[in-house]
Structure 1
Amino acid sequence: MELIKTFVMSPKFNRLITYLIIINAILIGLETSPQLYTQYHSFFVTIDMIILAIFTIEVALKIIVLKKAFFQNSWNIFDFIIVIGSVILYSTPFVSVLRIFRVLRVFRTITTVPTLRRIVAALFMAIPTISSVLLIMAIIFYVYAVIGTSFYREISPEYFGDLFLSTVTLFQIFTLESWASGIFRPIFDQAPSSWFYFISFIIITTFIMINLIVGEIVNNAQKISDSVEEETEEIKKDTHEIKELRKEIQEIKQLLISKEKHRP
């Protein structure tokens, strides 16, 4: 059992799984080409079955080694659902659902790369703050949609004809996609004061609010990195102490051997 645990938890085994995930992702991408898929259908199916079999064995071995502890880790549960879902649906007629599970296997890269896990963890930690920011943004969108509909409905009915169209238009402006030439300029020609409406909206939503979200995620990522560094430092200290203890034990052994030699 200890040998299996050492093998499953080894960096080499994790690297192998990561490479297989990348290969699987490339194959899924290649399968979207009808010509390639038709020509090499048997090859794609065989490789996919082999990779799925390895993933299944990996999960099974981890469950055997970790037992209940396996399901206490959310990343392990994520892996388990994807792999088991792929296995159960493989020989069923639910092809579209199976394709979703096969594509989801690509997300397993996150579980095998520590830096990606930290980024995702930072994103989840930021959800409460992001939710508050999104609520503020929703209020801002609503207020600006009402103002835009009231002032520019007659000038540009295709963009500000009603509340829904105004909201969609504001989302396009928020993404900065063709907002100046397509939306702003025609309205500005008839309503010169509209520059304040558009520019204030862009500054508030695109620059300020998005920076708040990014800043929160970066802040959480830094907290996680600091925590990892602290844990690493503690491990280094413990390792140093163990080395010192071994050295002292070795010196004591040498003294005892020396005394035994000089004893009459």
Structure 2
Amino acid sequence: MVLRDRVGEIVESDRFQWLIIGVIVINAVSLGCETSPALVREYGDVLTALDHSALAVFACELLARLYAFRLRFFRDPWNCFDFLVVAVALLPAAGPLSVLRSLRILRALRLVAMVPSMRGVVTALVRSIPGLLSLSGLLVLLLYVGAVIANNLFRDTGDARFGDLGSTVLTLFQITTGDGWSDVMRDLMEHQPLAWIFFLCYLLIGTFTMLNLFIAVVCSAMQSAVPATAREVDEIVLEELRALRDEVRELRTVHV
């Protein structure tokens, strides 16, 4: 039991955390170097050794955590993520599983689980998913309504981008991302000079308003995480003050 507690203290220590972060960074750099044929020809054996060494370190780390925390290890979603990433890397990357070699870079995502600030950002993004889903549904509805209107307006121009509903939806999605919308508008204005009215209205509603709402939802979720942390700190301070007040009261009682 003492050994288990000692292992838990080691894997949770700051030095050990920084060691794992360093291994993750080195492993990510080595996997990036493997994309260069010149570097592979020159240092292929070194890169392979670094990859295998990093995988061994990650496997030993997970085994140590499993030994220290047992089933409590899987209560933390980040631990489950680490376990899945390392487990995928341990599968034999041969035959039909050769595609798994390209997934080795997922080990670099462990950096998110190791750095508290990154972990907080991801947590805030997860919390914003319900609001983002509602906005996504609204954006899809806007895209569909705009596609029906655009198809009725510009179908007779002979432009293949508005030939049917599917092509129109794809074109409007491209316009929503801001990719080449002015070219599409000017091509249509050669046949319908007032086509710019539709495009400006759609851009104002679909792009500027909706995308800014997406950003607002994410920012709101990230800001809501800060007060929660502040409240936890305030509660800790209040508990300390109550304890100090009780101690002072006891000392006064003893002196009396």
Say whether the fold is shared (TM-score over 0.5): yes
Matches within 5 A, 1:23-62: 23-62=26-65
8 A contact 2:88–2:100 mirrored in 1: no
8 A contact 2:21–2:114 mirrored in 1: yes
**Corresponding residue for residue 259 of structure 1:** none
**Corresponding residue for residue 80 of structure 1:** 83
**Corresponding residue for residue 205 of structure 1:** 206
8 A contact 2:112–2:119 mirrored in 1: yes
TM superposition outliers: structure 1 runs of 4+ over 6 Å: none
**Corresponding residue for residue 17 of structure 2:** 14
**Corresponding residue for residue 177 of structure 2:** 175
Q: 1:95 and 1:210, CA in 2 relative to 1: closer, same or farther beyond 3 A?
A: same
Aligned AA for 1:209?
A: M
CA distance in 2 between counterparts of 1:7 and 1:239 reads 28
8 A contact 1:146–1:163 mirrored in 2: yes
Q: 1:238 and 1:88, CA in 2 relative to 1: closer, same or farther beyond 3 A?
A: farther
Q: 1:118 and 1:156, CA in 2 relative to 1: closer, same or farther beyond 3 A?
A: farther
SS at match of 2:193: coil
SS at match of 2:156: coil
CA distance in 2 between counterparts of 1:8 and 1:238 reads 29
CA distance in 2 between counterparts of 1:28 and 1:156 reads 49
SS at match of 2:203: helix
The runs of 5 or more residues in structure 2 that have no matched partner are none
8 A contact 1:5–1:65 mirrored in 2: yes
SS at match of 1:64: helix
CA distance in 2 between counterparts of 1:230 and 1:152 reads 56
Matches within 5 A, 1:137-148: 137-148=139-150
Matches within 5 A, 1:146-157: 146-157=148-159
**Corresponding residue for residue 128 of structure 1:** 130
- Structure 2 length-normalised TM: 0.88
SS at match of 1:154: helix
Aligned AA for 1:76?
A: N
CA distance in 2 between counterparts of 1:226 and 1:241 reads 22
Are 1:99 and 2:84 counterparts?
Answer: no
8 A contact 1:160–1:169 mirrored in 2: yes
Q: CA deviation at 1:154?
A: 2.5
SS at match of 2:145: helix
SS at match of 1:190: coil
Percentage identity across aligned positions? 30
The runs of 5 or more residues in structure 1 that have no matched partner are 256-264
CA distance in 1 between counterparts of 2:235 and 2:52 reads 43
8 A contact 1:188–1:194 mirrored in 2: yes
Are 1:3 and 2:21 counterparts?
Answer: no
Q: How many residues align?
A: 248
8 A contact 1:156–1:187 mirrored in 2: no
**Corresponding residue for residue 219 of structure 1:** 220
Q: CA deviation at 1:241?
A: 6.6
Q: 1:89 and 1:230, CA in 2 relative to 1: closer, same or farther beyond 3 A?
A: farther
CA distance in 2 between counterparts of 1:128 and 1:89 reads 38
8 A contact 1:8–1:58 mirrored in 2: yes
- Structure 1 length-normalised TM: 0.86
CA RMSD of aligned residues (A): 2.4
Are 1:231 and 2:203 counterparts?
Answer: no
CA distance in 1 between counterparts of 2:109 and 2:202 reads 35
Aligned AA for 2:120?
A: R
Query: 1:159-182 deviations in whole A, cap 9, x for unaligned?
Result: 2111111111111111111211x2
